[in-house]
Each structure stands twice: as structure tokens, then as C-alpha cells.
Structure 1
Amino acid sequence: MKHPGRVLGVFLLTSLALWSQAFAHGVAEGDKGYIQEITGVHFIEFIYLGAKHMVTGYDHILFLLGVIFFLYKMKHIAIYVSLFALGHSTTMLAGVYFNIGINSYIIDAIIGLSVVYKALDNLGAYQRWFGFQPNMKLATLVFGFFHGFGLSSKILDYEVSPDGLLPNLLAFNIGVEIGQLLALAAILIAMGYWRRTPSFLKHAYTANVAVMSAGFMLIGYQLTGYFVS
């Protein structure tokens, strides 16, 4: 029987390679064409788009996985997830409403860096290298801001009509939070099962190396796109 840690590592690396090709900047052409054609308030449609983006957003899911990897109590999970949600909701709404455009490749590379940063934290690298533990609550909030600009860049790519923009943005944000909860629930179920097995602590290091490797792949993919585009 394969160890869960090894299976997780293979899954993360394979998924990132496939999803990078499939979604590129996360804007499906069918969704983009539909959004460009409509005007006015479309609450349900934008909820769906927000949830879809978060559930298929491998970069956000990898970061969430890193954040909750060693969190066992629901109150601690709730604190970190709330900080992340506060961060990405703030910059997503502000980025679109005030038309703050950031190059998608650069912001997605920073999001990849957030995955690497959290994986290194889970590996205890900062304590070994620098002799101190960074404030991960603050880091989660700050990286949440960058994830939010990543979301806003996707919405700006949709070229949403200004007619009904604010309600549609709020609907998209609601969808993002629904998608985040769905992804978090799936992660917690899988982690809950794995944590009950003897292999968890044995292969936690391998799993976080896999997460870190996926983050580096994401950084490399986005920076390559930036320089060749």
C-alpha cells in the first residue's frame, strides 16, 4: 500500500502541471466570452464564477493546505482562514473597483512564493536558518492581500461591464468564500484521515517538500510566461 505522504506529493506535482496548462491565468474562454456579453446584476452567475475559480485555483488550494497542515484545533483553523479571507477579499474588491492592474504573471509568481514560504515554515526552516519564528498570522494576512490581487487580475481579464459592477463583485467574493470552504472541507477530511495513520508524522516532511516544489514550479511557470509573453 502506498504511503499517503508519497501519494500526496505525486498528486500535487501532477495536478500543478495539468492545471497550469488547463487554466493558465484562470480565465476560461467560455466564461470570459459570456461575461463580456452581459450587463447588469447577475448575482448567481458571479457566485458560480467565484466558487469555480477558488475550487480550481491550485495556487490558493496549495497555500490553504500549507496553512492548515499542522493546525489541529478548529478555532486555530478558523483564525488563519479568516485572516486569509480578509486579506484576499479586501484587495480583490479594491483592485477591481479602483481598476488597480497588476501583471498577472508577476502576481501569480508571488502567490507561488507564498506557497513556498508556508511550506518552508512547516519544515521549520526559519528557526534553523535564522533562529526565529515569523509571525504566521501576519504572513497569512499579507499573502492574502497578494492572493486577492491575483483574484482581481482574473476579474479584470473578464472585462466586466461597469453596469452592476459592485453587486457582481460582491457576488464573486461570496462565491470565492464558498469555494474556499468547499476546498477547505475536502482538505480537512483528507488530512483528518491521514493524521490518524502512523505515516503522518513520518511523511509530513515529504509532503511539505512536495508543496514547496509545487510552489517553485508555479513561480517558474509564471516567470517564464512573463519573460516570453
Structure 2
Amino acid sequence: MSSAGHRIATVGAVMATVVLAAPGGAWAHGVGGSSDTVGGFVWLGTKHMLAGWDHLLFVGGILLLAGQVRRAAKLISLFALGHSVTLFTATVADWHVNPVLVDIVVALSLVFVGVVGLTGRPKTWTWFAAAVLGFGLVHGLGLSTRLQEVGLPSDATIPRVLAFNIGVEIGQLVAIAGMFMLGDVLRHYIPRLCDARLSHAVLVAAGVVAAAVLVITSGGQALRPVQTPPEAYGACEVRDRTETYPAGGGHPVKDFFEPAETVPATSFGHLIGDGFVIVNYQLAVPRHPVGAPAVTR
């Protein structure tokens, strides 16, 4: 193995071991703050990348597997292209994807790289490069999900998304440089960590554990469809009532009627006469919006 390979193997084993020992809160990493300036979003992207252990482990696995600086540069460029495309497109187009499912796929990307490493370097790199690009697209969806959690102004979305992406690339370059420098130090003190197969095995373990933790702690959220955020339904409109309800009924049998149930119009007319307020919800509005408590009344 080359000297660069020894360094990456050392850092990969150390990072993956740290991930396996991390507490549950470390598995989910948000952007962590916001900014009113475009320059601030560069810093948010850089900080998010440096804290993104799953993203960095995937990059480290690619570097270790490539074995050559030139090949590694090509693969990392494909990965950067993939996550840049989906980060920009998904954020600007306001796509809402299941964040837990994306995080699980990202964790499984570590398993993929580790398994390929354990079975030996590919004889042809075309299919592996395509896989790296594909996982880059998925990683970009994860980055977009985190960025949208921050909240972006509608009048300056594109500059901030581009700034965030620039920050992500800066963070990635800093992390790669750090991997080589840290590897130089650690390989002299912990030579056994230079074993590439050990690094690949620990990478597989880290991905499996991360995916399992996400599935167990999500409460089934990974399989739930993404709910449209409340703001997507538009602003509320206050106006004089033009609808009429026939009178003659008494109080309805319950306070809330499901969309498929028949509404007792005469009872509603009675309630309006008593001064009660009637709220009609759109059928598309979810019963329990994301982040809102369940309504029991």
C-alpha cells in the first residue's frame, strides 16, 4: 500500500471507531444555526461538512479504495458533482424528501464502499464511478434537507444555496487535507491501523450500526410519506361568511368529523345561531402536521 493509503487507512479506522462509540444524539446532525448574510451561509456549509461524519467517512472510504491520487481526485469530483446538483435543485425547487430515509441510504453508502474494499479494488472503475455519482446525488438530498430546515428567504434563495454549497466544498477539502495530516501522525504511533482491510471492515460496521440506529430511533418515520409543510397551503384568508347552513338541528354528536364522514349541516346551522365557530379544513391538510401536537378535541 502507498504512503497515502496508509494514512487514509489509519484515519478511516479511527473515525469509524469513534462513530461506533458515539451517543445517539450524534447520529443526527443539522446545520446548526442560520445567517442573515450570504457569507454566513458559506460558514454554515463548511461547519456542517466538518461535522458530517457520515459524509466524511464516505469520502475517506473512496480515497482509501482509489489507491491513486489521480483516481481519487476523479472519484471525489464525481461525488462533489452529484451532491452539488441535488443540493441546489432540491432546495431551489422546494423538494421535501424523507430525511430519515435519506440518512439511512447515506449510512448504507458506507457499507457499500467498505464491502467493495474488502472484496478488492474493482478491475474496471466505470460502475464504481457511477455508484459514487449516485450516492453523491443522495448525499445532496440530505444536505438539502438540512439546509431547508434553516429556512431560506424567498428573495435570495439561490445566492444562499450557492454559498452553502461552496462552504460544503471548502469543508470537504479541509477534511481531506486533515485526513492526510492526521494519518501521518497516527501511523507512527498506531501502526496496526494502517491495515486497509481493518479500515474497510470498521467502515462496514459503522454504516450498519448507523443505519440500524436510525431505523430503531425513527419510530417508523423512515416508511412514512413526507407531509407537505403547512406553509405550502398558503396564507389564511379572513372574510365575511357567504356559506349558509339550514337550521332545525341540535348540537352535533361530536366536535370533529373525519373527511369521509357526512357533515350534519342542520346541526351546523344550529351552532352558528348559538355563536359557535365552525372550521372547515382542506382535505389535503394532514391531521397531524410535522412538529405539531396531535389535536384530541
TM-score scaled by length of structure 1: 0.81
Aligned match of 2:175 in 161, 180, 183? 183
Pick closer, same or farther for the CA change 1:60–1:198 going to 2, 3 Å: closer
Higher RCO (C-alpha under 8 Å, 6+ residues apart): 1
Letter in 1 for 2:179: I
Gaps of at least 5 residues in structure 2 are 1-6, 222-297
SS state of the match for residue 65, structure 2? coil
Letter in 1 for 2:173: L
Letter in 2 for 1:113: L
SS state of the match for residue 227, structure 1? coil
Aligned match of 1:155 in 147, 161, 167? 147
Contact 2:49 2:171 in 1 (8 A): yes
> Which residue does the alignment assign to 1:57?
52
Aligned match of 1:139 in 131, 136, 142? 131
Aligned length: 214
> Which residue does the alignment assign to 2:40?
45
Identity %: 31
SS state of the match for residue 160, structure 1? coil
> Which residue does the alignment assign to 2:201?
209
> Which residue does the alignment assign to 1:86?
81
More helix by share: 1
Structure label with greater radius of gyration: 2
Distance across 2 between alignment mates of 1:7 and 1:177: 20
Aligned match of 2:212 in 208, 217, 220? 220
Gaps of at least 5 residues in structure 1 are none
CA positional deviation for 1:227: 2.5
1:109-128 matches, cutoff 5 A:
109-124=104-119
SS state of the match for residue 195, structure 2? helix
CA positional deviation for 1:126: 9.4
> Which residue does the alignment assign to 1:21?
25
Distance across 1 between alignment mates of 2:73 and 2:24: 29
Of residues 204-213 and 7-16 in structure 1, the stretch that sits farther from structure 2 once superposed is: 7-16
Matched, 1:165 2:172: no
Distance across 2 between alignment mates of 1:86 and 1:65: 17
SS state of the match for residue 218, structure 2? helix
Of residues 182-191 and 165-174 in structure 1, the stretch that sits farther from structure 2 once superposed is: 182-191
Aligned match of 1:101 in 77, 80, 96? 96
Pick closer, same or farther for the CA change 1:210–1:86 going to 2, 3 Å: same
SS state of the match for residue 26, structure 1? coil
Distance across 2 between alignment mates of 1:151 and 1:7: 24
Q: C-alpha deviations, 1:8-27, integer Å up to 9, x for none?
A: 53542323543751462424
Letter in 2 for 1:217: V
Pick closer, same or farther for the CA change 1:201–1:155 going to 2, 3 Å: closer
Contact 2:10 2:186 in 1 (8 A): no
CA positional deviation for 1:132: 9.0
CA positional deviation for 1:193: 6.1
Distance across 2 between alignment mates of 1:44 and 1:169: 11
